[in-house]
Structure 1
């Protein structure tokens, strides 16, 4: 059975939610990330014998913190916030195979800004293959913030009437559900999500919540 990367590296609480299995860094800003998709998933349910496109989106989302921590010096507890995210999938490549669904992502990072050895922001492009077939591609621009800066960006969200401040995953889940699209005439599904005004109080879209501790096992493959 294929193991997965430590859950802390992808900011997941439950080990069974981790999709990534391995990664390799080639030079400074090119990486290969591997994943295994479950044939049956309680949330990302397959339809018409095809994987849910949002399973691809979640695979890319887990890649952000993985590479941020392992290749770009981001400490645990930081918050990753996206400015822009777009993706497209190829429905023929999303067919559920009879055996293990091994996914390989070719990831290129550009416009990388570092400060004191830690990532500030970068643009990431990913192309994915499933058992050798093109699955889709995704592009994003995201920034990294310390807990103190992130709290300032969120402004008065925690003091808003009605109780708790919205958890980053709340908005991500809603946007993901709205992101389901039908295949276009030429057989490509696309979705683009821009997050303008991320500096407004309570309107900061987080890619994922911070990990509370370092990885319990494993190292760069």
Structure 2
């Protein structure tokens, strides 16, 4: 049972998934907020019933599941709609992440939370012991989105602008990996953080030592 929990977060195309995967290869349990968010509105769930009551039956696909393309279009165009949807999903996601992390085996567990800053940060997640931000310059995000998703520069910029400002994420970070180099460089940085977290997890009442910044 893990009592030491670290969040991994970062902007779109920052490399959060690559970092999370490397922790998993070291035997660390990683609980994914995106998976929890899908479960929160799975077919037949209370969450989906609330979404349908708030937005109407047109957000459902023919099989009774949430039509994610329709929902995404609604919330992307309407900030109020996005906030209503988040008010339904986020509390369920936070509860599931906390429960699964605390039930995990190993000295510590990781909650992968892409929208941590947007979802309230430490105030919304008081059970987090540390926050690891995977950071890249905006121009690198843009290049990766254009290469990965085939987005043009304007769409890439809108996707980046829809998230929290880079400075907001860095302001709440205890640890930072600057992932603007080759993907192979992540392995050594993750291994160093794993050693650090195992030491902190075994140190009793969890201290909050100085911030740690690494460049991949």
- Normalising by structure 1, we get a TM-score of 0.31
Asked which structure has the greater CA Rg, the reply is 2
More RCO (CA 8 Å, sep 6+): 2
TM-score normalized by the length of structure 2: 0.32
